[in-house]
Amino acid sequence: KNEVEQSPQNLTAQEGEFITINCSYSVGISALHWLQQHPGGGIVSLFMLSSGKKKHGRLIATINIQEKHSSLHITASHPRDSAVYICAPFNTDKLIFGTGTRLQVFP
Amino acid sequence: EAQVTQNPRYLITVTGKKLTVTCSQNMNHEYMSWYRQDPGLGLRQIYYSMNVEVTDKGDVPEGYKVSRKEKRNFPLILESPSPNQTSLYFCASRFAVRGPQHFGDGTRLSIL
C-alpha cells in the first residue's frame, strides 16, 4: 500500500465548478505540501501547511493531522487550473509524494 | 528573480556515455534535492544535500552521483547511463528543513 493516496486520480470539470482533491497518508508528518504541475512539466508549490486551513485566491487547502487527511479545493474552476496536483507530506526530513490528480477544466 | 535552473532541458544519449545535469539556485538555500518522475510512480528522491559537502542517498540512488562543492550548485552525474534511467528529472531547493520547495523546470533524459 502506498504511503500517500490521492483521489480521484483523474478529474474532469466544467468551468465554474467547485473542485475537491483528497489526500490520505499513513506516516507521521510535520507538514504537508500541495504542488501543481503544469502540462509543460514545471512544478510549483501551492501550499505548505501543518494544521487547519490556508487560502490563496481561489485555492483552499485543509489538513487534519489526527485523521491523516488533507484536501485541496478550487472554487470557481477555470481552464487554466488544468494541471496535475500533487500531495506531498513531509516525513522526518523528506517529502513523500503522491502520484497526483490530473484535473481538466473545460470551458 | 528567485529560481532553480537546470540544464539541459532535454537530452537524448546512448548507454554508457557519462552525462551531467547541472542545477543552480540563486536563493542561498541550504537544502537541495534531485528527484526523478516516472509515470504511475510519482516523484522519487535520488539524492539530497543539507549543505556544502553534505550529501545523502534518497530512495533511488543507484546509478547516480552528486556533489555539493558550492552552496548554489548541485549537479547530478550519471557515470554510465542505462535505459532504465530514462525519466524526467527535477532539481529542487528549500531554505529550511520544512520550508517550501522551489523546483527547476525539469530535464527530460532519454537513454537509448
Is B22:B75 a contact under the CB 8 Å cutoff?
A: yes
Q: Does the structure show a pLDDT above 70 at A1?
A: no
Pairwise pLDDT comparison (B5 vs B98), residue with the higher score: B5
Cβ separation of A41 and B106 shorter than 8 Å?
yes
For residue B48, give the C-alpha cell: 539530497
pLDDT over 90 percentage in chain B: 88
User: Which of A89, A80, A87 is CA-nearest to residue A101?
Assistant: A87
Q: Is A99 on the interface with B (CB under 8 A)?
A: yes
3-class DSSP assignment, residue B64 = coil
pLDDT of residue A2: 77
pLDDT of residue A95: 87
Q: Does the structure show a pLDDT above 80 at A49?
A: yes
pLDDT over 90 percentage in chain A: 79
- CA B43 to chain A, closest CA, distance in angstroms equals 6
For residue A65, give the C-alpha cell: 493531522
Q: Does the structure show a pLDDT above 70 at A74?
A: yes
- Model confidence pLDDT, tens digit, residues B35-75: 999 988 889 999 999 999 999 999 999 999 999 999 999 99
pLDDT band at B2, cuts 50/70/90? confident
Cβ separation of A86 and B43 shorter than 8 Å?
yes
Chains A, B: CB contacts under 8 A, how many? 49
- The Cα–Cα gap between A89 and A31 comes to 6
Average of pLDDT values for B77-98? 93
Q: What is the mean pLDDT of chain B?
A: 94
- The Cα–Cα gap between A26 and A2 comes to 8
Q: What is the mean pLDDT of chain A?
A: 93
For residue A66, give the C-alpha cell: 489526527
Chain A residue with minimal CA distance to B38? A99
* Prior bond of B81 cis (ω within 30°): no
pLDDT of residue B46: 96
pLDDT over 70 percentage in chain A: 99
For residue B22, give the C-alpha cell: 547541472
pLDDT of residue B100: 84
Q: What region, left, alpha or beta, does residue B89 occupy, with left being phi > 0 and alpha being psi -120 to 50 degrees? A: beta
Is B35:B42 a contact under the CB 8 Å cutoff?
A: no
- Model confidence pLDDT, tens digit, residues A54-65: 999 999 999 999
Distances (CA, A) of B44 to A96, B37, B81: 8, 6, 18
Q: What dihedral do alpha carbons A74, A78, A79, A81 form, nearest 10°? A: -30
Concatenating the DSSP letter of every residue in A33-102 gives EEEEE-TTS-EEEEEEESSEEEEETTEEEEEETTTTEEEEEESS--GGG-EEEEEEEEETTEE-----EE
